[in-house]
Structure 1
């Protein structure tokens, strides 16, 4: 794409020839294509063009100015370039890339340029917003202290997410990263949170399945899908997440809460690297350009909780990053980890062992922490991380020893049960009050006499009991309303759920089974 001697010569001659003709202060509105290829055009004659401005190549082909050089402009094309050639004229539009915004976008599937691709007709939005803009400043922001409930007990208890936070979901491919994000979207039903799902470089069939699932669950009533699929041009994949957050900012400034998922930013970085190399920008580490950190920081900094003066809304971002063999020290993962406020790390080993969601408690962290939890959740989950850490440590030692003391056996048995309770099927988020009651039974060791092979059944029966039993349902409602466990409520919960556990043990003849197992073991020893 570099200029050769004849190109430079023709540019200089043209500039000398036109110098006397044109008014120096007049903006040049028309340029000429010097070279074109691989979706990149080099255009001369557009002296006053802006960075990110849309340029009209004719035949319904538009491009975006990305490289502003002294004698030419590097332009990325937003459509097929078969109909244009070297020497063709290019016109300025004087418009920086903008997309339609507003409530008309809810329930729609659009491309990176804001055009509908769901077959439901045009989007009748009268308002547009510029896609590239500066993030809200420090003084416009509020502290993050309101929970954004995911419905996943492992996240809401151990790595809580707050409204306005940026929590990275990171892990190898096929470890359930997208499932966590989709479950979080499903859980926003009835919580007055609008959702945006941005699919970057995904297969269209995969995105179609996600859209169908959201429709069936009634989640498309508050969700917008932005797609730049694997078959799309790199410029559209580069643009897609900025388009998504631009739609979100409109709602944030109106005082609404928004959740946005970027799936995934690894493919976004690769699309930007492709563009940069084609534009002849100098490559750096792993062939990424030097500004690849800014690529994601300018995007993720736009997630915030702003104060009342600036609308009072929030954008919560869940960026997704794919690692290779669990290597979180690679270039793009370390970049995004340093930009975000914590990470949920999904482990392939946990996923393959049947732990779903496959969240690695040791690597996962939320830098907002318990500030994004209600008091009742803090009270119930306070010792959970310590219990799991003890279990993991004991388990690593236990594999080398066959003779374990009773206290070690207790820790291992309790840890196995806790991990089993933290398992959750896909597309089945739990209400926070139910989560708190489940965690309450763990904290108060009510599950101690329930054998490990009965734990899954115990959890199912407990959830059913909370929904159907009037007393348990009243406790859940009180937790939901007061958001804390008072001394009086704590005593009621102990009585109610201790009785439930005792009845569960009796109804499943667990005591008799345990006695039979012990008798069989003694007979075997003899």
Structure 2
């Protein structure tokens, strides 16, 4: 992962607190700065902030040491969020609270320069990496997709109307990912793994990043077991093995989705987990598909990941990777997984829109040059 080039080191360290520090406190701050930033000649400057009663905030360029009451509570909240989603979470939470100590690690905070069309330009996050998730002041999350010398571009996973220039942005230190687990069977979720079927929250067993290295050659098993589609013409003339990739291509309204649906229905009782990823489809079409699967008893072994046409291009872009991450969880449990991407043409269109907004060089039909790598990486 690449990092942005760092600008010149700041010459001042800003200390915010409700009351002026004593001489002894100032000496401890200066000793901390000399120890933490030995290659910088920093001058400690105090500024009064009545909102920081009972604490302080130290800013050294993009590094922020938030020792206010709110900052320490945020650290505790983050420590609790790091706990595994298991049944014994209450003892783990109690232990985490007992062992928790406020840290002096800096929190890097950036500033929104521009925002629009689901893209935000941010300055100040010098150590952000490609694919990292950022959190904006209104709770909206975004993913870093473009690194520049002194700024970065981030695609938003929500409505950008509540984000303005000058708003603070915080790093999470995590790449984009989705929750996974057995509880997702029979559910309809969005591209971020959140349930959208009105059936309540989902108990996750783990958290998988959407970008994972493909298994190596040694880790792959040979294709030696058939996967029946239930369609005699296909099974007799074009047998498909478990582990293969198959492209269903045809004109509009020729039954491509029907072939995939029949294949999913034919996996009943065969210990195969089926994941249907709907990209850029109408919400009514996804609801009809879910109802058909439920009526025929197929939702017990199916998961639907939906990024409808009304969702942002960033969610449509990440949807197939989210479906693959969920499938990899079941693969690691020793189960066979059938994933249907419907369809990758709309996925390429969403990626084209993001690439043009990120000012990447267009190619034929305005698609970026790496669109073929985009899909080959997904299918591997």
SS at match of 2:207: strand
Structure 2 residue matching 1:140: 3-state secondary structure: coil
Q: 2:149 aligned with 1:46, yes or no?
A: no
Is the CA contact 1:199–1:229 (under 8 Å) kept in the aligned structure 2?
yes
Structure 1 Cα separation of the partners of residues 110 and 232 of structure 2: 58
2:188 equivalent in structure 1: 109
Which of 259, 262, 266 lines up with 1:183 in the alignment? 262
Instruction: State yes or no: 1:133 paired with 2:219.
Output: no
What is the alpha-carbon distance in structure 1 between the residues aligned to residue 373 and residue 146 of structure 2? Answer: 16
Match of 2:314 in 1: 235
Tell me the TM-score normalised to structure 1 length.
0.53
Distance 2:222 2:149 in 1: 44
Q: How does 1:260-279 map to 2 (within 5 A)?
A: 260-279=339-358
Q: How does 1:72-471 map to 2 (within 5 A)?
A: 72-301=151-380
Aligned residue runs from structure 1 range 58-77, under 5 A? 58-77=137-156
Find the aligned partners of 2:41 and 2:131 in 1 and give their Cα distance. 30
2:112 to 33, 56, 64: 33
- Where 1:157 maps in the other structure, the secondary structure is helix
| Structure with the larger strand share | 2
For 1:306, the equivalent position in structure 2 comes to none
Q: 1:283 Cα deviation (Å)?
A: 1.0
Q: 1 CA distance for matches of 2:248 and 2:258?
A: 11
Secondary structure, aligned partner of 2:270: coil
**Structure 2 portions without partners, runs of 5+:** 1-5, 14-39, 43-59, 64-104
Tell me the distance in 2 between the aligned counterparts of 1:186 and 1:129: 27
1:13 CA displacement: 8.6
Per-residue Cα deviation, 1:38-62 (whole angstroms, up to 9, x for no partner): 1100001111112111101121211
- Name whichever of 27-36 and 122-131 sits farther off: 27-36
Helix, strand or coil for the counterpart of 2:114? strand
Greater relative contact order structure (CA < 8 Å, 6+ sep): 1
Residues 193 and 322, structure 2, Cα contact 8 Å, conserved in 1: yes
Tell me: CA distance 1:24–1:299, structure 2 relative to 1, closer, same or farther (3 Å).
Answer: same
Is 2:132–2:174's contact at 8 Å kept on the other side of the alignment? yes
Shift of 1:126: 3.2
Q: Secondary structure at the match of 2:377?
A: helix
Q: Alpha carbons of 1:44 and 1:24: their partners in 2 closer, same or farther (altered >3 Å)?
A: closer
**What TM-score do the two structures reach when normalised by structure 2?**
0.74
* Deviation by residue 1:314-363 (Cα, 9 ceiling, x = unmatched): xxxxxxxxxxxxxxxxxxxxxxxxxxxxxxxxxxxxxxxxxxxxxxxxxx
CA–CA distance in 1 between the matches of 2:241 and 2:7? 57
- Retained in 1: the 8 A contact 2:179–2:207? yes
How far does residue 16 in structure 1 lie from its aligned partner after superposition?
6.4
Q: Mind listing any 5+ residue stretches in structure 1 that lack a counterpart?
A: 1-10, 302-526
CA contact (8 A) 2:10 2:61 kept: no
Residues 146 and 163 in structure 1, CA contact (< 8 A), matched pair in contact too? yes
- Say whether the 8 Å CA contact 1:195–1:222 is kept in structure 2: yes
SS at match of 1:241: helix
State whether residues 28 and 45 of structure 1, in contact with CA within 8 Å, keep that contact through their aligned partners in structure 2.
no
The one-character-per-residue Cα deviations of 1:222-261 (angstroms, maximum 9, x if unpaired) are 0000000000000000000000010000111111000000
CA contact (8 A) 2:279 2:308 kept: yes
Determine the C-alpha separation between the residues in 2 that align with 1:192 and 1:216: 19
Q: Secondary structure at the match of 2:286?
A: helix
Distance 1:212 1:30 in 2: 45
CA change 1:242–1:24 in 2 (3 A) is closer
Q: RMSD across aligned C-alpha pairs, in angstroms?
A: 1.9
Larger Rg: 1
Instruction: Answer yes or no: is the 8 Å Cα contact 1:28–1:47 preserved in 2.
Output: no
**More helix, by proportion:** 1
Task: Rate the CA distance shift 1:164–1:258 in 2: closer, same or farther, 3 A.
Answer: same
Task: Tell me how many residue pairs correspond in the alignment.
Answer: 291
Alpha-carbon separation, structure 2, partners of 1:213 and 1:246: 25
8 Å CA contact 1:27, 1:47 repeated in 2: no
1:425-472 Cα offsets, whole Å, 9 max, x none, are: xxxxxxxxxxxxxxxxxxxxxxxxxxxxxxxxxxxxxxxxxxxxxxxx
- Classify the secondary structure of the residue corresponding to 1:118: coil
- Counterpart-to-counterpart distance in 2, 1:27 and 1:292: 38
